[in-house]
Structure 1
Amino acid sequence: MQTSKKIAVVGSGLVGSLLAIYLRHRGHAVDVFDRRPDIREVEFSGRSINLAMSFRGWKTLEEAGIDEAIRKIAIPMNKRAIHVVDKEVYFQPYGRDGEAIYSISRGLLNKKMIDLAEEAGVNFIFESKVWDVSLSEAIIYTGDTEKSPWEAHKYDIVFGADGAFSRVRHKMQRSSMFNYSQEFLEVGYKELSIPANADGSHKLDKNSLHIWPRGNFMFIALPNLDGSFTCTLFLPHEGDNSFAALTDEDKVKDFFEVYFPTINDEIPNLIRDFFKNPTSALVTTKCYPWVHGNTVALIGDSAHAIVPFYGQGMNAGFEDITTLNHLMNVHGDDWGTIFQEYQKERKPNADAIAELSYRNFMEMSSKTASVDFQLRKKIEAWFSSKHPELWLPLYSRVTFSNDSYAEALAMGDMQAAIMDKVMQLEGIHMDWNSERVESFIIEELKK
Structure 2
Amino acid sequence: MKIGDTGVVTIAGGGLAGALLAAMLAAQGLRVEVFERHADPRLGDPPDGRSINLALAERGCHALRLAGLDDAVDEFVLPMTGRMMHDREGRLTPQPYGAAGERIWSSNRAQLNCVLLNGAEATGRVDLHFGRRIETVDWDARQLHFSDGESRSFEVLIGADGGGSVVRRAMASHTDIGAREELLEHGYRELSIPPAADGGFAMDARSLHIWPRGGFMLIALPNLDGSFTATLFLPKDGDPGFSALGDWPAQQAFMQREFPDAVPLMTDMQAEFRDNPVGLLGTIRCRQWHLGGTAALLGDAAHAIVPFHGQGMNAAFEDCEVMGRLVRDRDRDWSEVFAQYQALRRDNANAIADMALENYRVMRESVADPRFLLRKALEHELERRFGDRFIARYSLVMFHRLPYAEVFRRGNTQAAILETLLDGADGLDDISFDQARRLVEAELAPIRS
Q: Normalising to structure 1: TM-score of the pair?
A: 0.94
Residue matched to 1:41: 43
Question: Are the counterparts in 2 of residues 136 and 292 from structure 1 also a CA contact under 8 Å?
Answer: no
CA distance in 1, matches of 2:360, 2:372: 14
2:127 is aligned with 1:130:
no
Residue matched to 1:259: 258
Change (3 A) 1:272 1:172: same
Residue matched to 1:32: 34
- When structure 1 is superposed on structure 2, of 365-374 and 83-92 the one drifting more is 83-92
Change (3 A) 1:105 1:25: same
Question: Are the counterparts in 2 of residues 136 and 293 from structure 1 also a CA contact under 8 Å?
Answer: no
CA distance in 2, matches of 1:124, 1:55: 28
- When structure 1 is superposed on structure 2, of 355-364 and 111-120 the one drifting more is 111-120
2:426 is aligned with 1:429:
yes
2:279 partner SS: coil
Cα displacement (A) at 1:252: 1.2
CA distance in 2, matches of 1:302, 1:107: 19
Residue matched to 1:250: 249
Question: Residue by residue, what CA displacement relative to the aligned partner does 1:100-133 show, whole Å, maximum 9, x if unpaired?
Answer: 0000111221122222222223221111111122
* Equivalent residue letter for 2:130: F
Residue matched to 1:288: 287
Cα displacement (A) at 1:429: 2.2
Residue matched to 1:147: none
Question: Are the counterparts in 1 of residues 21 and 324 from structure 2 also a CA contact under 8 Å?
Answer: no
Question: Residue by residue, what CA displacement relative to the aligned partner does 1:242-287 show, whole Å, maximum 9, x if unpaired?
Answer: 1111111111111111100011100000001111111100010111
2:181 partner SS: strand
- CA RMSD in angstroms comes to 1.6
CA distance in 2, matches of 1:418, 1:309: 24
Residue matched to 1:183: 182
For 1:126-275, what aligned pairs fall within 5 Å after superposition? 126-135=130-139, 138-144=142-148, 150-275=149-274
CA distance in 1, matches of 2:324, 2:199: 41
CA distance in 1, matches of 2:209, 2:65: 28
Residue matched to 1:276: 275
* Equivalent residue letter for 2:295: V
CA distance in 2, matches of 1:332, 1:71: 36
For 1:67-78, what aligned pairs fall within 5 Å after superposition? 67-78=70-81
Question: Residue by residue, what CA displacement relative to the aligned partner does 1:391-436 show, whole Å, maximum 9, x if unpaired?
Answer: 01001111111210000111111111221222222xx224x156x4
Residue matched to 2:103: 100
Question: Are the counterparts in 2 of residues 4 and 27 from structure 1 also a CA contact under 8 Å?
Answer: no
Q: Percent identity?
A: 39
Cα displacement (A) at 1:385: 0.8
* Equivalent residue letter for 2:336: T
1:345 partner SS: helix
Cα displacement (A) at 1:136: 5.4
CA distance in 1, matches of 2:379, 2:195: 36
2:116 is aligned with 1:117:
no
CA distance in 1, matches of 2:11, 2:80: 32
Residue matched to 1:440: 435
Change (3 A) 1:433 1:104: farther
Residue matched to 1:319: 318
Cα displacement (A) at 1:87: 5.9
Residue matched to 1:20: 22
2:179 partner SS: strand
Cα displacement (A) at 1:326: 2.0
CA distance in 2, matches of 1:192, 1:344: 39
Question: Residue by residue, what CA displacement relative to the aligned partner does 1:281-340 show, whole Å, maximum 9, x if unpaired?
Answer: 001011121111112111000000000000000000000011112222356442221111
Change (3 A) 1:332 1:365: farther
Question: Are the counterparts in 2 of residues 36 and 127 from structure 1 also a CA contact under 8 Å?
Answer: yes
Cα displacement (A) at 1:355: 0.2
Question: Residue by residue, what CA displacement relative to the aligned partner does 1:191-244 show, whole Å, maximum 9, x if unpaired?
Answer: 011001133211111111110000010000000000000110001101111111
Residue matched to 2:361: 362
2:328 partner SS: helix
1:273 partner SS: helix
* Equivalent residue letter for 1:8: T
Q: Normalising to structure 2: TM-score of the pair?
A: 0.94
* Equivalent residue letter for 1:423: L
- When structure 1 is superposed on structure 2, of 87-96 and 11-20 the one drifting more is 87-96
CA distance in 1, matches of 2:141, 2:318: 27
* Equivalent residue letter for 2:15: G
- When structure 1 is superposed on structure 2, of 106-115 and 378-387 the one drifting more is 106-115
Question: Residue by residue, what CA displacement relative to the aligned partner does 1:21-64 show, whole Å, maximum 9, x if unpaired?
Answer: 11121222211111222223332222115100001001100000
Question: Residue by residue, what CA displacement relative to the aligned partner does 1:135-167 show, whole Å, maximum 9, x if unpaired?
Answer: 3554222132xxxxx322122211101011110
Instruction: List gaps (5 residues or longer) in structure 2.
Output: 444-449
Question: Are the counterparts in 1 of residues 20 and 116 from structure 2 also a CA contact under 8 Å?
Answer: yes
- When structure 1 is superposed on structure 2, of 1-10 and 384-393 the one drifting more is 1-10
Query: 4+ residue stretches of structure 1 with deviation over 6 A?
Result: none
Residue matched to 1:7: 9
Question: Are the counterparts in 2 of residues 135 and 292 from structure 1 also a CA contact under 8 Å?
Answer: no
1:306 partner SS: coil
Cα displacement (A) at 1:344: 0.9
Question: Are the counterparts in 1 of residues 90 and 260 from structure 2 also a CA contact under 8 Å?
Answer: no
Change (3 A) 1:362 1:92: same
* Equivalent residue letter for 1:78: T
CA distance in 2, matches of 1:367, 1:241: 19
CA distance in 1, matches of 2:32, 2:45: 26
- When structure 1 is superposed on structure 2, of 79-88 and 248-257 the one drifting more is 79-88
2:174 partner SS: coil
Question: Are the counterparts in 1 of residues 90 and 261 from structure 2 also a CA contact under 8 Å?
Answer: no
* Equivalent residue letter for 2:78: I
CA distance in 1, matches of 2:202, 2:395: 28
* Equivalent residue letter for 1:269: D
Question: Are the counterparts in 2 of residues 331 and 338 from structure 1 also a CA contact under 8 Å?
Answer: no
Q: What is the number of equivalent residue pairs in this alignment?
A: 438
Question: Are the counterparts in 2 of residues 76 and 207 from structure 1 also a CA contact under 8 Å?
Answer: yes
Question: Are the counterparts in 2 of residues 138 and 296 from structure 1 also a CA contact under 8 Å?
Answer: no
